[in-house]
C-alpha cells in the first residue's frame, strides 16, 4: 500500500476488501466512501435484498483490483472518508461511490455532498436497483434498526 501526503491530502492505494456497499479496507485502513450512502447489509427494498446486493456489488468492483482513495475527511468512527477509484476495465476508471449510486445500490449522501445527486436522479429515472422496488433511505433505515446495521 502506498500512502502519500500532498497539500493536506492523503492518498491510500492498494488491494481493497469490501466491508459493505460503501466501506472498504486497504491494508488495515478502514475507508468510508465520500458522498454516497449504500443500503445496509440486512436492509431490504421491497422484495429486493438491496443491502446484500450492494455489498456483493462492491466486492465485485474491487476484487483483485488496485483501489486508490483520496482522503476528504475522517468520520466520527475514525474511518478515512475518501473518493475511491479503480479500473473497471482496461480503459475505464470508475469512482466507486458514483458507480454504486448509478446502479441504484446507494443514494447521494446530501448531508455531506451534492456531487452524486445527478447520478441518483439518473438511477431513479431508469428504475435502477432499489429504485425499481421502493425503499427507506439507508440513514432512515439505520435509525429504525439500530441493532442490525453493519
Instruction: Give residue 9's pLDDT band: very low, low, confident or very high (50, 70, 90).
Output: low
> Considering the domain boundaries, does residue 112 fall inside one?
yes
pLDDT in tens, 44-61: 999 999 999 999 999 999
* Residue 140 covered by a domain: no
Give the per-residue pLDDT at 103. Answer: 98
The verdict on residue 148 lying in a domain is no
Asked if 108 and 119 touch (Cβ cutoff 8 Å), the reply is yes
Q: Does 71 map to a domain? A: yes
Interval 74-119: pLDDT, tens: 999 999 999 999 998 889 999 999 999 999 999 999 989 999 999 9
Q: How long a stretch of residues is the chain?
A: 150
CA 36 – CA 120 distance, rounded (Å): 10
Domain annotation covers residue 145: no
C-alpha cell belonging to residue 97: 461511490
User: What residues form DSSP beta bridges with 85?
Assistant: 68, 95
Count how many domains the chain has. 1
The cell for 93 is 476508471
Cα dist. 60→11, 53, 54, 88, 117 in Å? 22, 10, 10, 10, 24
Q: Say which residue the cell 466512501 belongs to.
A: 33
How far apart are alpha carbons 84 and 11 in whole angstroms? 9
CA angle at residue 143 from 137 to 129, to 5 degrees? 20
pTM above 0.85, yes or no: yes
Range(s) of the domain holding residue 34: 2-135
Q: Is the pLDDT of residue 5 over 50?
A: no
In this structure, what CATH number is given to the domain that contains residue 21? 2.40.50.90
Residues 101, 36: Cα–Cα separation, whole Å: 7
Asked whether 42 and 31 are in contact (CB, 8 A), the reply is: no
pLDDT above 60: residue 150: no
- Kindly state whether residue 142 falls inside one of the protein's structural domains: no
Average pLDDT of 119-136?
97
Amino acid at each position: 500500500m502506498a500512502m502519500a501526503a500532498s497539500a493536506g491530502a492523503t492518498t491510500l492505494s492498494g488491494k481493497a476488501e469490501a466491508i459493505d456497499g460503501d466501506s472498504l479496507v486497504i491494508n488495515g485502513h478502514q475507508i468510508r466512501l465520500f458522498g454516497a450512502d449504500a443500503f445496509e447489509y440486512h436492509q431490504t427494498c421491497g422484495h429486493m435484498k438491496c443491502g446484500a446486493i450492494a455489498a456483493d456489488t462492491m466486492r465485485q468492483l474491487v476484487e483483485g483490483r488496485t483501489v486508490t482513495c483520496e482522503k476528504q475527511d475522517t468520520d466520527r468512527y475514525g474511518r478515512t472518508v475518501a473518493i475511491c477509484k479503480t479500473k473497471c476495465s482496461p480503459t475505464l476508471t470508475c469512482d466507486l461511490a458514483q458507480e454504486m449510486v448509478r446502479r441504484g445500490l446507494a443514494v447521494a449522501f446530501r448531508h455531506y455532498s451534492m456531487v452524486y445527486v445527478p447520478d441518483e436522479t439518473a438511477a431513479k429515472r431508469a428504475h435502477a436497483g432499489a429504485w425499481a422496488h421502493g425503499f427507506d433511505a439507508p440513514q432512515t433505515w439505520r435509525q429504525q434498526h439500530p441493532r442490525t446495521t453493519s
